[in-house]
Amino acid sequence: MACTDKGDTADTTGTTGTTGTTGSGDDLAGEAIANYANIVSASYDDSVTAAQALDAAVDAFIAAPSEEGMNAARQAWLDSREPYLQTEVYRFYDGPIDNPEDGPEGLINAWPMDEGHIDYIYGDSDAGIVNNLELTIDEETLLAQNEAGGEANVATGFHAQEFLLWGQDFADDGPGERPWTDYDVATSTKPNPDRRGQYLAVVSDLLVGHLTDMSNAWAAGGSNYRADFEAAESSVGLERILTGMIILSGFETGGERLQAALDSGDQEDEHSCFSDNTHRDMVQDVVGVQNVWRGSYTRLDGSTVSGTGIRDVVEAADADLASRVDAQIDASVAAANALQPPFDQEIALSNTEGRARVQALIDSLKDQETILLEVFTLLGLSVEIPTE
């Protein structure tokens, strides 16, 4: 059993500060909030585009299973993670992605997971929904099965796709090696290759749908979450934006994803444990924070969405603090990029240098959390950091 633990969620409730930017600062804050909404919209649009490309690659592979087709689907999965990971900074303030009533985050990126809930695992060739012939494989079933019986029973989203494409990872120096024949009725040595293909296809369709919902929620000109977000007082908008930056930095990335893995030294505790893509998870999460701070996002087509950033709001009130945040976020990005893949070898108990690189990133993210809390204090806001 790999990647098994609680789901990749954190409940947090921020309280609206009684003070905020005033005078010309209000205008600057309003510009930063509007630009943030533009960046959110663009990055979710890119996430949809990449998920659609992944869905097409999956459909092509399932229609005619081959090693080349599986490799193409795997690459499309890796590509799809790049824009999505930069959106994780929009979490933790009960926005559309993790609204407690209907937010789809747990259907998109829940982690860690018990892969035996989905398909065969080492020592049990009949495990999972794929091999349970009493279950019809369709959207309704997989949605109902997601986290059914426990948070680790993930049935949908990126990591379900990842497991279906790579399989369990038992290698020291590479990802899982699921054979493409697992999807080929004529040559598969495992049961139910047709159902496995159906499962992968349905999960891919669901991902496109859920990301499209996020794109719609943040689209300009609609009667949607974005409209309410931009209409709220500037202190409310800034509080939400900074809450996402703070909690993703320290609690989520630095703690849940990095510290837990470093403490155990076990490859089963890494975030993208089947594909060995964890190092990119770390980089893009930190880049997402940097995007919001600077007010700039580079799209898949190379164009840039940019404008007033949170940095500009802070600089107007305290230029020294803005410079210190600049330096700290840059240091975190550099520390994330310094990780050497595969991540499971970085955290290995015998790898002193690799563990030091991971610890350096954790320390930088904790410092980033602390300095961003200074911004909260400066702007008269408040945040509740989850403890578990």
C-alpha torsion angle, residues 207, 65, 1, 4 (rounded to 10): -10
**Is the residue at 11 inside a domain?**
no
- When comparing pLDDT for 96 and 174, which is higher? 96
The Cβ of residue 34 has, within 10 Å, a number of other Cβ atoms equal to 16
Mean pLDDT lowest for which of 52-61, 74-83, 256-265? 256-265
pLDDT, tens only, 212-227? 999 999 999 989 999 9
Residue 387 covered by a domain: no
Residues ≥6 apart with Cβ < 8 Å to 324 = 371
Phi-psi region of 276 (alpha: psi -120 to 50; beta: other; left: phi over 0): left
Q: Cβ of 110: how many Cβ atoms within 10 Å?
A: 25
Using the predicted structure, report yes or no on whether residue 4 has a pLDDT greater than 80: no
Q: Half-sphere exposure (CA, 13 Å, Cβ side) for 93?
A: 23
Does residue 99 lie within any of the structural domains?
yes
Strand partners, 297: 305
Q: For position 134, which CATH number holds?
A: 1.20.1420.20
Torsion of CA 38, 44, 49, 53, to 10 degrees: 160
User: Would you state the pLDDT for residue 205?
Assistant: 98
Query: What is the total residue count of the chain?
Result: 388
Mean pLDDT rounded to a whole number for the chain: 92
Q: Give a yes or no: residue 3 inside a domain.
A: no
Among the listed residues 367, 383, 370, the one whose alpha carbon sits nearest the alpha carbon of residue 239? 383
Cα 167–Cα 115–Cα 75 angle in degrees, nearest 5: 40
Question: Considering the domain boundaries, does residue 12 fall inside one?
Answer: no
Range of the domain at 57: 24-378
Encoded tokens for 121: 């695992």
pLDDT at 384: 73
Helical (H) or strand (E) element with 297: strand 296-298
In degrees to the nearest 10, what's the CA dihedral of 166, 167, 172, 175? Answer: 10
Q: Is 96 domain-assigned? A: yes
Contact predicate 2/268, CB 8 Å? yes
pLDDT at 385: 67
Whether the per-residue pLDDT at 10 is higher than 70: the answer is no
Per the structure, the count of domains in the chain is: 1
> What is the rounded average pLDDT of the residues 75-100?
97
Place of tokens 């309003």: 30
pLDDT at 8 over 60: no
Q: Note whether 213 and 96 are within 8 A (CB).
A: yes
Is the bond preceding residue 342 a cis peptide, omega within 30 degrees?
yes
Long-range own/partner contacts, residues 225-232 (CB < 8 A, 24 or more apart) = 225/95, 225/96, 226/37, 226/40, 226/41, 229/33, 229/37, 229/95, 230/33, 230/34, 230/37
The rounded Cα 98 to chain-centroid distance in angstroms is: 12
Scanning the chain, the segments in alpha helix (DSSP H) are 24-63, 67-85, 105-108, 139-145, 158-166, 193-217, 225-231, 234-247, 260-264, 278-294, 310-317, 319-337, 343-346, 352-378
User: Band of the pLDDT at 388, cuts 50, 70, 90?
Assistant: low
pTM of the entire predicted model: 0.92
Could you tell me if 152 and 112 are in contact, meaning their C-beta atoms sit under 8 angstroms apart? yes
Cis peptide before 112 (omega within 30 of 0): yes
pLDDT exceeds cutoff 70 at 129: yes
Task: Give the up-direction half-sphere exposure of residue 132: CA atoms within 13 A in the CB hemisphere.
Answer: 15
Which pLDDT belongs to residue 267? Answer: 76
Phi, psi of 150 (to 5 degrees): 155, 150
